[in-house]
Amino acid sequence: MVKRIVSAVVGIPAFLFFVYLGGVYFAGLIIALSLLASVELSRMLKRMGMKEMQSFLYTGALLFPVLFYFEPAWLPSFMVLFILSGVIISLSHYPEHSFTDMSANFFSLYYVAFGFAHLLLLRQMEQGMLLVIYAFAVIWMNDIGAYCVGTYIGKHPFFDYISPNKTVEGALAGIVAGVVGGLLFCVMINRVMTLDNMGFLIFLTPFLCIAGQAGDLFESTLKRQARIKDSSQIIPGHGGVLDRFDSALWVAPLLYHILQIRLTIFM
């Protein structure tokens, strides 16, 4: 518990500092996190009995965030070319690499690289710094509420075949805490400056909480299949990069695309 608290006290302000800096500094952090998470997921694929395509995963983990940051318009064309190159790599290793191996590697690339890259897209939006901090305020409060209530008063299992420590009480408490955290953040920021889409963000908060918990359960499923407790031990008391950003990999894309749809309809 002490390691967990110390890591949070050091890590959260450092992460928020990079969010504040934005630009190439935040992009560099996201690329580093994407690469580290890809290394963790590659190891998990190997433990699942899959043939990991390391060069494909690592190159994608580097290039996709770079493209999201510098030239998003090139992304569709680049994605097609990159996937085709991945298919050629896989075919060149047939029958060592099966269709299942290829599918697992393609999904892993999409899961990690695209998830982290959406944090860059959020940061580049109008009031992007506030949007990224809002997303993590919801995620962190969701995690804290679920952990505290689930640990001390949780009794009814919640997806216990995936994660034995999850409880219904913890899940509900996480949603409540996340909603409270999102509401407080929006209200406090709006006192200092006008927060765009404030009402809409408050409306979205419970759905983002649910998405965050789904992301956590998804990563727990991967770890269970890989028969490991944590994706790595890089963060003392917290495990790996995937363990800390599993919710964000679902919340960031959901928040970004819903805001984009709203802007497209109402602008």
Confidence of residue 20 (pLDDT cuts 50, 70, 90): very high
Tokens 């495990």 correspond to: 239
End-to-end CA distance of the chain: give it in Å, rounded.
Answer: 48
Q: How far apart are CA 123 and CA 105, in angstroms?
A: 27
Confidence (pLDDT) at 1? 61
Q: Point out the least confidently predicted range of 11-20, 85-94, 154-163, 170-179.
A: 85-94
Confidence (pLDDT) at 213? 93
Give 31-48 pLDDT, tens digit per residue.
999 999 999 998 898 888
pLDDT (mean) for 37-60: 85
Average pLDDT, the chain: 86
CA 36 to chain centroid: 13
Q: What angle do CA 126, 128, 133 make, to 5 degrees?
A: 150
pLDDT of 4 above 90 = no
DSSP class of residue 98 equals -
Helix, strand counts (H, E) of the chain: 11, 0
Give 227-255 pLDDT, tens digit per residue.
888 887 887 766 789 989 999 999 999 99
pLDDT of 3 above 70 = no
Give me the torsion for CA of 246, 251, 254, 257, rounded to 10°. Answer: -110
pLDDT (mean) for 122-137: 94
Q: How far apart are CA 6 and CA 78, in angstroms?
A: 41
Q: How far apart are CA 170 and CA 160, in angstroms?
A: 12
34 against 102, higher pLDDT: 34
Overall pTM surpassing 0.75 (yes/no): yes
Confidence (pLDDT) at 253? 93
Confidence (pLDDT) at 154? 74
pLDDT of 183 above 70 = yes
Confidence (pLDDT) at 178? 95
Confidence of residue 209 (pLDDT cuts 50, 70, 90): very high
Q: What percent of the chain has pLDDT over 70?
A: 96
146 against 90, higher pLDDT: 146
- Cβ-Cβ contacts under 8 Å for 32 (sequence gap 6 or more): none
Confidence (pLDDT) at 167? 87
Tokens 């960031």 correspond to: 252
Confidence (pLDDT) at 65? 85
pLDDT of 211 above 80 = yes
